[in-house]
Structure 1
Amino acid sequence: MVKFCFVALALLVACCAIQAAPSYDDDVEAAWEKFQAHHPHKADATPQEIAKRKGNFAKTHAMIEKHNKNKDATFQMEHNKFSAMDDDEKKQYNGARPPPHHDGSRFLNDDDLAVSMRQLPASLDYRTDVCLASVKNQGSCGSCWAFTAISPLEFAQCKKSGTPVVLSEQQLVDCDTSNGDCNGGWYTTAWNYLKNGCAQQSLYTYTATKNTCKYTSAMSASKVSSYGYVTSNSTAFMQAALQKYGPLAVAITVVDSLFSYKSGVYSDPTCVNRGVNHGVVVVGYGDLYGTPHWIVRNSWGSNWGSSGYVLMQRGVNMCNIELYPAAIVTVV
């Protein structure tokens, strides 16, 4: 009798578990199957982990479907590698940590930029410039600050030497003790470290995890000499700095909608009045269907967004993009 009760109880628990499993609409199921073909779960994933991923995906799918049906939306969303991640997993792809204060002496001279402002082109786009390296992928390491620091340095070094160069973010992750490796950091702090030199990526490859520092001065392919912040919340000064110095390091506030960005001019009011949490690089500006935008290079790989880029609304400090712009002025 006791054995029978145990069997009955086990069956009851199993039935409850089956009944508790969420059900999804056919369109969600179809989208999930398509998603798994491109982003399969780990081979050793448990049924519970798969169910959690599917639940995350269903929430993302609902957000994407609702947004893309909005005729007033200025950008479109799509599924990508982030669709089945939870919030904690997504946070690993950010990592901007601004210092408590800024050194006022490190602001660029507004008078110099004012001269450049008189000759600003209607649009500017460095994406096709030979000095801008291919989009990179930080992976699940909060090292965006390193990628944000390196891209303008690569560009500046190339403009000086005439030869494209690909530099090492991993060196910053491993060796820059003023920043926090995969736990976040800040691009101007990294530039201060890079006054000591930066290795080429071929000599110091990226692993998306902190390792023992192996940099030596013999590896140096470039050094930061001087840099500075652009005046905050000034679109014109940012445009002038872009034209004069090249790509700008900036910080933004990432909210959930950005992870699913596909195309168009991104804007989301929910990122207003929040602290910055991600470093990216502004590589140009323009207008799309009458909406002014910045051309922004991300570090989530070329399969994200528009070949690794996002257009962000310009002139309204969208997601704080106009709050902390900075440029490398000279390199050695």
Structure 2
Amino acid sequence: MGQFTFVAVIVMMALAARLHAAEDFESVWQAYLAKYPLGMKTKSEHEIRKSIFNETHARIQKHNSKKGVTFQMGHNAFSVLVIHSDLTSEEKKRHLGAFKPVRPNSVVRGVAREALPCSVGKIALTPNIRLKDLMGFYLITSEQQIVDCSRKDGCSGGWEQEAWQYLASNSGQTDDSSYPYTAETGTCVFSPSDMSIGAEISSSDPVEWVAWQDPTAMMTVLVDGRIISIYMQLPESFFSYESGVFNDDQCVGSYAHAMNVVGYDTLDQNDY
């Protein structure tokens, strides 16, 4: 009888733990919906998004519980999306590019936007930088000019070197207020005679290739006040990145994200 009672108590404790976990998840889910209203119109869509969120939440908890990880994961607008597969064109415009730019150190300039929401592929974004002029304020250069003018259908992807070469051959880059961002490809309306030039390219051959996997060469370029364009293969964890030094070797080779390296430092004894 005593053994039966002991087993029954264990079963009851296990059921209580499951109920507590379910309550915890439901509170997290409701808090997420309050922060990120999804506008779901059907019960089916609600259940699908909740199921995806449950998987994302479990993945975040598993990662953050590991010892020795250099970065933490958290919820954001991507938590209810199946990355690399079910992003609609509207979701791409809303969510891609939602990451905040890296805060620059005193050596280099900051980046205006880290991604272009109209593209999930290789978009020529390198010239879209904040230029700090001698007066001490930042000028946001026009991303839309790059999308519309540097190549055909700029939102479908592109190469950074194409954008640099375009700017070198076309008087430079206007400011964002003169040619505002729309997150979709349009007809090129850039006119150097009618728009102010926010940034000029001083060289007719502005692209310099940096040795692959050579951190010293990269740091030398950055210390010189320049920016390095890279492509980063995106593991699933990238879309839940929250803080720390991102480091994940589970790359997805067919999904690369163009971005800019603007500096280097050490955080919690981790070089980045």
- Do the structures match in fold with TM over 0.5? yes
Q: Given that residues 108 and 263 in structure 2 are in contact (C-alpha distance below 8 angstroms), is that contact kept between their aligned partners in structure 1? A: no
Matching residue of 1:106: none
Aligned partner (choices 71, 76, 82) of residue 75 of structure 1: 71
Bigger mean CA deviation after superposition, 169-178 or 66-75: 169-178
Q: Given that residues 108 and 222 in structure 2 are in contact (C-alpha distance below 8 angstroms), is that contact kept between their aligned partners in structure 1? A: no
Distance 1:38 1:159 in 2: 37
- 5+ residue gaps, structure 2, are 1-20, 98-102
Structure 1 residue 185: Cα displacement: 1.4
Structure 1 residue 81: Cα displacement: 0.8
Per-residue CA shift, 1:150-201, capped at 9, x if unaligned?
Answer: 22xx44xx468976321011111122225x4222111111111112121100
Structure 1 residue 139: Cα displacement: 3.1
Give, as a single letter, the amino acid of the residue that structure 2 aligns with 1:171.
Answer: Q
Distance 2:62 2:173 in 1: 45
Size of the aligned set, in residue pairs, is 233
1:33 aligns with 2:11: no
Per-residue CA shift, 1:191-224, capped at 9, x if unaligned?
Answer: 1111212110001111111122211122233232
Distance 1:285 1:235 in 2: 10
Q: Secondary structure in 2 aligned to 1:148?
A: coil
TM-score using structure 2 length: 0.75
TM-score using structure 1 length: 0.63
1:291 aligns with 2:270: yes
1:174 aligns with 2:148: yes
Matching residue of 2:245: 265
Superposition map of 1:1-332 within 5 A: 25-42=22-39, 45-87=41-83, 88=85, 89=87, 92=92, 93=96, 126-127=104-105, 131-132=109-110, 134-135=112-113, 138-139=116-117, 141-142=119-120, 145-151=123-129, 154-155=130-131, 158=132, 164-177=138-151, 180-195=153-168, 196=170, 197-218=172-193, 219=195, 220-224=197-201, 225=203, 226-271=206-251, 274=253, 277-293=256-272
Q: Secondary structure in 2 aligned to 1:266?
A: coil
Q: Given that residues 116 and 123 in structure 2 are in contact (C-alpha distance below 8 angstroms), is that contact kept between their aligned partners in structure 1? A: no
Q: Secondary structure in 2 aligned to 1:209?
A: coil
Q: Given that residues 255 and 270 in structure 1 are in contact (C-alpha distance below 8 angstroms), is that contact kept between their aligned partners in structure 2? A: yes
Q: Given that residues 122 and 256 in structure 2 are in contact (C-alpha distance below 8 angstroms), is that contact kept between their aligned partners in structure 1? A: no
Bigger mean CA deviation after superposition, 183-192 or 75-84: 183-192
Distance 2:112 2:223 in 1: 20
Identical residues among aligned pairs (%): 32
Structure with the larger strand share: 1
C-alpha change, 1:83 and 1:205, in structure 2 (3 Å) is same
C-alpha change, 1:50 and 1:164, in structure 2 (3 Å) is same
C-alpha change, 1:130 and 1:287, in structure 2 (3 Å) is closer
Q: Secondary structure in 1 aligned to 2:145?
A: helix
Distance 1:149 1:275 in 2: 24
Distance 1:229 1:200 in 2: 27
Distance 1:276 1:66 in 2: 24
C-alpha change, 1:128 and 1:138, in structure 2 (3 Å) is farther
C-alpha change, 1:194 and 1:276, in structure 2 (3 Å) is farther
Distance 1:229 1:147 in 2: 16
Q: Secondary structure in 2 aligned to 1:63?
A: helix
Q: Given that residues 143 and 173 in structure 1 are in contact (C-alpha distance below 8 angstroms), is that contact kept between their aligned partners in structure 2? A: no
Q: Secondary structure in 2 aligned to 1:182?
A: helix
Structure 1 residue 57: Cα displacement: 1.0
Over the aligned positions, Cα root-mean-square deviation in angstroms equals 2.8
Q: Given that residues 115 and 259 in structure 2 are in contact (C-alpha distance below 8 angstroms), is that contact kept between their aligned partners in structure 1? A: no
Distance 2:128 2:22 in 1: 45
Distance 1:135 1:67 in 2: 28
Q: Secondary structure in 2 aligned to 1:250?
A: strand
